[in-house]
């Protein structure tokens, strides 16, 4: 018998439960992700010590920027984190910033206005990369046909690549990343995977046309940018008492920045994937990650988080219509996509084995500050064994059982089955 909604264990501290891949609970009933959070808290202190480290980081950045036009690249999306980093870099630390933006042609109007407002007010230059509209849609379509959850990762990889392209072009040695484990959380390994080979192979198998204008982080280029150009990605928000609600109010009052109503809603494909595709097809609700992070960092109580997660995710059906139209799916095609059995990255060619083999190289890159500890641990240390695939499907099954209130489901169909849809 499969466990019902009542039987799924939930962490005593955050709101993660047994449906999260690779979760375990200790004797106090606290999950391994909460313990990871505590390790990060210890490794990245805030307050006086955080400030001291942040100032030391800024000194290094200024030193590396001497004789150049810019000190640091900051990726901008119009969202709260990246907008705040622009303010922090320029106003608080006097850094010479080059903003970088990847436009997947699905930006929301509010996001574009936010970017313009911030850059104008702070007098910051922008490096922007617009992908060929039709090419982006073909890649997006391939990921939907492949039935994997990483539908929005081509945009994530492109964004990461654009940061490096902007830095390499102007010989900038530092990139600021807006991630904060205190507000965004730690995405459990197994939910999503991304690398350049994965994108290329998925597109080759399920799509058509070449990848030409979509920036992709090929391993040889990435290694060159780190080892030869010495470009480092750093996360300043780790060292700050970063409170999301306060920051939003501050940005609105100071810059006329607008809140667009939810994390990832600055972009319509991100909104579609997070509010419709992931929850309805894979039972993945990213709010678990964000709300758990806010509980762990004391910005929300556990009861408030449980209350919020119980609210249904809002979704504007007009966006589904836009996606179907632009990607070239009929209503019947779409039904086939949604009912096709889910697949997993471990069933497709990726760089994962190469990352595992290059573990000593990446350890060195991590120790020298070029890659994050979470990258090193997730991509190089954690083995891509059959257990990873089993875990993904087991947690998927648990989430499905939960949404149907404990009614036993039939076994999942063979994940290798392909969706049969005519080309547009």
Residues forming the site for Zn ion (CB under 5 A) = 11, 13-14, 16, 31, 34
What is the closest distance, in whole angstroms, from the C-beta atom of residue 36 to Zn ion in the complex?
Answer: 9
Q: Which is nearer to Zn ion, 185 or 207 (CB)?
A: 185
What is the closest distance, in whole angstroms, from the C-beta atom of residue 275 to Zn ion in the complex?
Answer: 24
DSSP character for 174?
E
What is the closest distance, in whole angstroms, from the C-beta atom of residue 14 to Zn ion in the complex?
Answer: 3
- Number of Cβ atoms within 10 Å of the Cβ of 283: 19
Q: Which is nearer to Zn ion, 8 or 358 (CB)?
A: 8
DSSP character for 25?
B
What is the closest distance, in whole angstroms, from the C-beta atom of residue 27 to Zn ion in the complex?
Answer: 14
Q: Which is nearer to Zn ion, 157 or 300 (CB)?
A: 300
Residue from 110, 99, 104 nearest 158 by CA: 104
What is the closest distance, in whole angstroms, from the C-beta atom of residue 35 to Zn ion in the complex?
Answer: 8
Please state, in angstroms and rounded to a whole number, the distance separating the CA atoms of residues 418 and 424.
17
Separation of CA 132 from chain center: 22
> What is the three-class DSSP state of 125?
strand
What is the closest distance, in whole angstroms, from the C-beta atom of residue 74 to Zn ion in the complex?
Answer: 31
| Adjacent-strand bridge partners of 98 | 73, 125
Q: Which is nearer to Zn ion, 288 or 366 (CB)?
A: 288
- Number of Cβ atoms within 10 Å of the Cβ of 386: 9
What is the closest distance, in whole angstroms, from the C-beta atom of residue 263 to Zn ion in the complex?
Answer: 19
Cβ-Cβ contacts under 8 Å for 41 (sequence gap 6 or more)? none
Q: Which is nearer to Zn ion, 15 or 119 (CB)?
A: 15
Q: Which is nearer to Zn ion, 11 or 231 (CB)?
A: 11
What is the closest distance, in whole angstroms, from the C-beta atom of residue 18 to Zn ion in the complex?
Answer: 11
Q: Which is nearer to Zn ion, 16 or 164 (CB)?
A: 16
CA distances from 301 to 10, 106, 142 (A): 15, 34, 40
Q: Which is nearer to Zn ion, 28 or 212 (CB)?
A: 28
What is the closest distance, in whole angstroms, from the C-beta atom of residue 157 to Zn ion in the complex?
Answer: 29
Q: Which residue is nearest to Zn ion (CB)?
A: 11
Sign of CA dihedral 236, 215, 384, 412: positive
Residue from 84, 117, 120 nearest 251 by CA: 84
Residue from 392, 284, 398 nearest 344 by CA: 392
Kindly report the backbone phi and psi dihedral angles of residue 137, in degrees, each rounded to the nearest multiple of 5, phi listed first.
Answer: -65, -35
Q: Which is nearer to Zn ion, 16 or 206 (CB)?
A: 16
| Adjacent-strand bridge partners of 100 | 75, 127
Beta carbons of 174 and 232 less than 8 angstroms apart: yes
- Number of Cβ atoms within 10 Å of the Cβ of 387: 14
């Amino acid at each position: 018998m499969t466990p019902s909604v009542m039987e799924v264990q939930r962490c005593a501290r955050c709101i993660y439960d047994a449906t999260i891949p690779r979760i375990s609970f200790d004797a106090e009933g606290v999950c391994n992700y909460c313990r990871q959070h505590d390790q990060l808290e210890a490794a990245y202190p805030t307050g006086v010590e955080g400030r001291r480290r942040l100032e030391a980081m800024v000194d290094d950045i200024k030193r590396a920027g001497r004789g150049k036009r810019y000190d640091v690249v900051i990726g901008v999306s119009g969202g709260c984190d990246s907008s705040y980093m622009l303010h922090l870099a320029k106003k608080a630390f006097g850094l010479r910033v080059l903003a970088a933006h990847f436009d997947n042609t699905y930006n929301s109007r509010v996001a574009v206005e936010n970017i313009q407002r911030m850059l104008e007010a702070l007098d910051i230059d922008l490096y922007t990369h617009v992908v060929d509209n039709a090419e982006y849609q073909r890649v997006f379509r391939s990921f939907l046909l492949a039935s994997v959850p990483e539908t929005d990762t081509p945009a994530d990889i492109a964004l990461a690549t654009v940061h490096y392209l902007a830095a390499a072009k102007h010989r900038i040695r530092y990139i600021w990343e807006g991630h904060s484990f205190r507000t965004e959380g730690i995405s459990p390994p197994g939910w999503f995977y991304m690398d350049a080979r994965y994108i290329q192979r998925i597109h080759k198998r399920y799509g058509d046309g070449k990848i030409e204008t979509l920036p992709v982080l090929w391993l040889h280029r990435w290694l060159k940018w780190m080892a030869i150009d010495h470009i480092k990605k750093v996360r300043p928000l780790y060292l700050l008492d970063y409170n999301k609600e306060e920051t939003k109010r501050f940005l609105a009052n100071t810059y006329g920045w607008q809140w667009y109503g939810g994390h990832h809603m600055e972009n319509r494909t991100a909104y579609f994937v997070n509010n419709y595709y992931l929850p309805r097809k894979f039972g993945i609700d990213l709010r678990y990650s964000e709300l758990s992070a806010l509980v762990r960092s004391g910005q929300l109580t556990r009861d408030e988080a449980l209350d919020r997660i119980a609210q249904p995710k809002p979704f504007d059906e007009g966006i589904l219509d836009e996606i179907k139209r632009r990607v070239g799916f009929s209503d019947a095609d779409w039904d086939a996509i949604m009912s096709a059995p889910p697949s997993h990255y471990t069933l497709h060619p990726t760089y994962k084995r190469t990352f595992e083999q290059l573990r000593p190289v990446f350890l060195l890159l991590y120790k020298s500050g070029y890659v994050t500890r979470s990258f090193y641990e997730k991509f190089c240390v954690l083995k891509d064994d059959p257990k990873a695939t089993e875990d993904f499907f087991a947690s998927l099954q648990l989430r499905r059982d939960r949404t149907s209130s404990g009614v036993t489901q039939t076994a999942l169909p063979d994940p290798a089955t392909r969706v049969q849809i005519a080309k547009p």
